[in-house]
Copies of this chain bind each other. A is one copy, B any other.
Amino acid sequence: MVKSTSSFDLAIVIGAGAFGTSIASVLATNFKHVLLIVRSPDVYQGLKKGENQIYLPGLKLPENIDVCLDWKEFEEFTKNRKIELVVCGLPTSGIRAFFDLHSARFSEFFKRGIPFVSLSKGIDPETLELPDDLLLDYFYEYRDLITFFSGPSFAKEIVEKQITLGSLAGRSKKVLMSIAQMMETPYFKVFPSYDVKGVLLGGALKNILAIAGGIVEGLGYNHNTRAAMITRGITEMLRFGVVFNARPETFYGLSGMGDLILTTTGDLSRNKLFGMELAKGRRAQEIITSQRSVVEGYKTAKAAKLLSEKYEVRARIFDAIYSVLYEDKAPKDVIEDLMSTPVRFEIT
């Protein structure tokens, strides 16, 4: 049902994965229309019926979410409507492929002053860059309009209207506050931040610790051990932050600690479930090839390993997870690693 109180006209969301779809459902509150740009025909067919049957099965989406599969359909839908926000829900690994083809179109949106929110989390395994650099390669000219959302937010719970808070990082206070207003609903809220690198790095690295959390739980360890692993892990995260000149406080905010708590203690994280499968003795490559959803932490673990080598980051837990994923180290060795460090001061 289109609400007469909607303040904004049209929001575009690129990518109809679970997260992109959930943000579309948030935007459906304040926007008259939300248009999802979909790449897969099967996702498209489901969404036409008001449900993302592939990524969020069983959840009814707001009726003012529309969908398009190509630019012809896009043009038709948008021609008499005012685009006021563009959201990009592509996986990190899909950013280049998409904008290599379509950057001209998005430059047009930027020229009109339309703000942009990226939802991508991850580190590019080749360049070791975060999503901001991947996007700014195409759109540096429009940097003030580009923002990055990250926070503790299972897509399913967002669609269910569970109360959800996140960080929105960018350069321009005006743009951040304006997007915050567009996204705010009684159950969803973003907190602006200028620390783009910190927000993105927390969102990327936490997936690796979620795998560690899954391993800990899968091996039968309980709350004390899980809390210890998370806490020691975030200490290592901060050391990566130094390399990107991120602020420590950001890692302790919604996009860092908040998201880490969510993914390691909640039961909906693909990364955590992946870790639990590893604990059963399955090999990483086998699990990855058997499922459709992207396990961001798997790829990010490789990037983190390259980063820790390149910049000499002391990251015992991250390195151990890498070895489990790519060198067939036994998951239980990760736990032993945690305990076998010599006694040292906690703050070092």
Using a CB–CB distance below 8 Å, which chain A residues touch chain B? 151-154, 157-158, 160, 162-165, 167, 177, 180-181, 184, 186-187, 189-195, 221-228, 230-232, 234-235, 247-254, 257-259, 261-262, 265-268, 335, 338-339, 343-347
Contact = CB atoms under 8 A, between A and B. Distances in A.
A157 B226 CA distance: 12
A347 B193 contact: yes
Given A224-B162, A343-B191, A347-B193, A230 B248 contact: no
Nearest to A183: B343
State how many copies of this chain the complex holds: 2
Given A339-B187, A347-B247, A234 B221 contact: no
Given A165-B232, A223-B268, A231-B258, 11 more contacts: A157-B222, A165-B231, A189-B339, A192-B343, A192-B344, A193-B345, A193-B346, A227-B262, A228-B258, A232-B254, A247-B347
A223 B346 contact: no
A164 B224 contact: yes
A191 B348 CA distance: 11
Contacts of A267: 223
A180 B191 CA distance: 40
Given A193-B345, A344-B191, A163 B257 contact: no
A261 B230 contact: yes
B163 A225 contact: yes
A233 to B, nearest CB: 10
Contacts of A228: 151-152, 163-165, 254, 258
A84 to B, nearest CB: 18
Nearest to A181: B343
A162 B229 CA distance: 12
Contacts of A266: 223, 227
Contacts of A232: 165, 254
A264 B190 CA distance: 23
Given A253-B231, A254-B228, A223 B152 contact: yes
B265 A347 contact: no
Central interface residue in A177, A225, A247, A344, by most chain B CB within 10 Å? A225
Contacts of A335: 163
Contacts of A250: 346-347
A254 B231 contact: yes
A240 to B, nearest CB: 15
Nearest to A184: B343
A119 to B, nearest CB: 15
A347 B224 contact: no
A344 B186 CA distance: 16
Most buried by B among A181, A191, A227: A227
Listed from nearest, the 5 A-B pairs whose CB atoms lie closest are A152-B227, A231-B258, A223-B266, A191-B346, A165-B228
A167 B231 CA distance: 11
B253 A346 contact: yes
Determine which residue in A184, A194, A223 has the highest number of CB atoms from chain B within 10 A of its CB, and name it: A223
Contacts of A157: 222-225
Nearest to A220: B162
